[in-house]
Amino acid sequence: MIDALPAIEIETGTSPTHTIIWLHGLGADGNDFVPLINELELFPEKPIRFIFPHAPERPVSINNGYTMRAWYDIFHPDLNHHQDESGIRDSRKTLDALIVREMQRGVASKHIVLAGFSQGGAMALHAGLRQINPLAGIMALSCYLPLAETLPSETCTANAAIPIFMAHGTQDSVIPLSQAIASREKLLTAHYTPEWHEYPMAHTVCQQEVADISHWLRRIIE
């Protein structure tokens, strides 16, 4: 039995037909992206349940063992070096359980979007591409593809053609643009077709990006 993640839930109408699960970055919490709901200006006639989970609190090695909310531990500035595979996989299990719970609440898996920023975006990619139920899409903001070497053997055909929105800042000093581009190339090699966006920003979100996210969501929310 996997314990449910604590989360903020906001519904844009009664009896939601779609769900957007939005994962925060390292050291933040579920409150981080709540203000974007109104800015997205999505369909008022299609009620959406936004779920903003709080990652578990854990010591983070790269931050001198300081305890903060994190989806997994980070050991090294080079995010591909010595990855916390067990932590990543444990978080994937909790996200899988969250998706199943939404299906039990009446939302078809093909109406569920898995989104995230930074470490949350990394988890959205990792969990979404391995999800056995077909999802509506993956939104991966200012992040990278973790455990990329295991993807070919773990990818799931249910999401072989899943829409992927990837966005990154050209001035990002936390996760360099080059690392995000390398992740995009790995996805292309694995026959995914990510929609790629770059913005003149640091490790953050900008207004043009929000507009592009809104446009993308409007296309994939049926």
State the amino acid at position 158 in one-letter form.
A
Report, in angstroms and rounded to the nearest whole number, the Rg of the chain calculated over CA atoms.
16
8-state DSSP, 202 = S
Q: Which domains does the chain have, with CATH numbers?
A: 7-220 (3.40.50.1820)
User: What's residue 3's pLDDT?
Assistant: 67
Query: Which residue among 118, 126, 168, 183 is the active-site one?
Result: 118
What's the whole-model pTM score?
0.96
Q: Is 172 a catalytic residue?
A: yes
Evaluated on CA atoms 42, 44, 48, 53, the torsion sign reads positive
User: What's residue 34's pLDDT?
Assistant: 96
Per-residue pLDDT of the chain (222 residues; tens, 9 = 90+): 456 789 999 999 999 999 999 999 999 999 999 999 999 988 888 999 999 999 999 999 999 999 999 999 999 888 777 899 999 999 999 999 999 999 999 999 999 999 999 999 999 999 999 999 999 999 999 999 999 999 999 998 999 999 999 999 999 999 999 999 999 999 999 999 999 999 999 999 999 999 999 999 999 987
Torsion of CA 22, 25, 28, 34, to 10 degrees: -30
User: What's residue 51's pLDDT?
Assistant: 98
Query: Which residue among 111, 168, 172, 183 is the active-site one?
Result: 172
**CA distance to 10, 46, 78, 119, 198, per residue, from 129 (Å):** 25, 25, 23, 16, 22
Q: Is 86 a catalytic residue?
A: no
Rounded to whole angstroms, how far apart are CA atoms 203 and 196? 16
DSSP code per residue over 28-71: --GGGGTTHHHHH---TTS-EEEEEEPPPEEEEGGGTTEEEE-S
Rounded to whole angstroms, how far apart are CA atoms 128 and 166? 13
Query: Which residue among 24, 111, 168, 203 is the active-site one?
Result: 203
